[in-house]
Amino acid sequence: MKHLTCKLILGAIFSMSLNANTITDMAGREVILPESIHKIYATSPYGSYILYAMDPSIMAGWVIAVQEKNKPFLAPSSRDLPVVGSMSGGAQTSNIETLFVQKPDLLLMWSTSQLSPLGNINQKLEQFNIPYVYAVAESMEDYPKVFQFLGHLLHQEKRGDMLSKRTQSILEDVKKVVSSIPQEKRPKVYYAEGNDGLSTECDDSIHVEILKLLGDVNVHRCHTSNHKGFEKLTMEQVILYNPDVIITQEENFLNTVHTHPMWKNIKAVQEKRIYLIPTTPFNWFDRPPSFMRFLGLQWLANLLYPTEYSIDIREETKNFYALFMGVTLDENALHVILAPQSFSYKE
């Protein structure tokens, strides 16, 4: 009875007078929009972060809690928003009561396929009478289109067009450079996950899409059976791979790998080509793979191909954070984001 009452209350609260303002979302659904949109809740990390890039003031909450150390790198209006949780994919972890308090005018769903929006989650959403639209991005190549869509949705076409053009130009610039480099001259890269560095991702995984764009340089070749990843390897496998470059987001692993009796013989470790992935305030590479990957793409392209893609990553970082994050970085902030280990652990 209590569950039914909650549904009725939510349905009443979110029920609204609708006009003929419609939009076709990226899944091909025609959606009637509210007369005005003041708050949107993005139900997945992918959507949450890209909504932040478009307009943090319109966010109703976060999917994942923001760590205190990351708050200075976010717009003030977004730092203390409530954590609502996820309402996408196969599981629902959202706090319906928190969602109820926030009273979003619209939900932003995220899909990595045109087909996946047709699932049980739609039925759950319908019962609460909350309008929702889908953004669809099968790969980073689709992000420019997502920014265009969000610009249209929010009546912020100029902003959407600006972010769309910037992401498109980054893709094109990197692709041009990579296409000019013969396969045999592209370094072999190992993505080390976990404290022991012995977990990684298949080459076709969404979690290493940057490595695909940078010349299909992932040393670990396998087929991804799910999106969880963390494929377990043995030390013997890594020794056989003998990568030229290692990237990781595990500081503990990075700080001990050069003295480990087995790892210290790997080429990347011997040549001090092991790099710490920047993660402040959002990860530049993975988990979750967000729009920050466009800066991560530039960062890693510069590390792998310093002559061919010779950029000043400090200036690129300042410009990217100003445009996408709405924050100005001073030297101290830059040092936090681009720790010395993001260049080389010897520095």
CATH number of 164's domain: 3.40.50.1980
The answer to whether the bond into 72 is cis (omega within 30° of 0) is: no
Tell me 59's DSSP state. Answer: B
Q: Specify whether 197 is located in the same domain as 313.
A: yes
Say yes or no: 186 and 279 in one domain: yes
On whether both 65 and 186 belong to a single domain, the answer is: no
Q: Is residue 345 part of a domain?
A: no
**Cβ–Cβ < 8 Å for 297, 291:** no
At 169, list the tokens. 């130009």
Of all residues in the chain, what percent carry a pLDDT higher than 90? Answer: 78
245 and 151, same structural domain?
no
* β-pairing verdict for 245-248 and 189-192: parallel
pLDDT single digits (tens) 132-142: 999 999 999 99
Q: Which of 147, 83, 140, 70 is nearest to 321 (CA)?
A: 70
Q: Contact 177/308 with Cβ under 8 angstroms? A: yes
Are 146 and 187 contained in the same domain? Answer: no
Q: Which domain holds residue 128?
A: 22-170
pLDDT exceeds 60 at position 248: yes
Nearest to 193 by CA among 244, 140, 246, 256: 246
Sequence-ordered list of residues with C-beta below 8 angstroms from that of 291, at least 6 positions apart, any chain: 49, 50, 53, 143, 167, 324
pLDDT at 336: 95
Q: Which H helix or E strand runs over 275?
A: strand 274-276
**Residue labelled with tokens 């902003």:** 159
pLDDT confidence tier of residue 12, bands split at 50, 70 and 90: very low
Instruction: Provide φ and ψ at 189, rounded to 5°.
Output: -115, 135
> pLDDT tens-digit profile of 62-121?
999 999 999 999 999 999 999 998 876 544 556 777 887 788 999 999 998 876 555 566
Say whether both 100 and 138 belong to one domain. Answer: yes
> What tens digit of pLDDT does each residue of 33-58 get?
999 999 999 999 999 999 999 999 99
Can you state the angle between helices 293-304 and 313-320, rounded to 10 degrees?
170
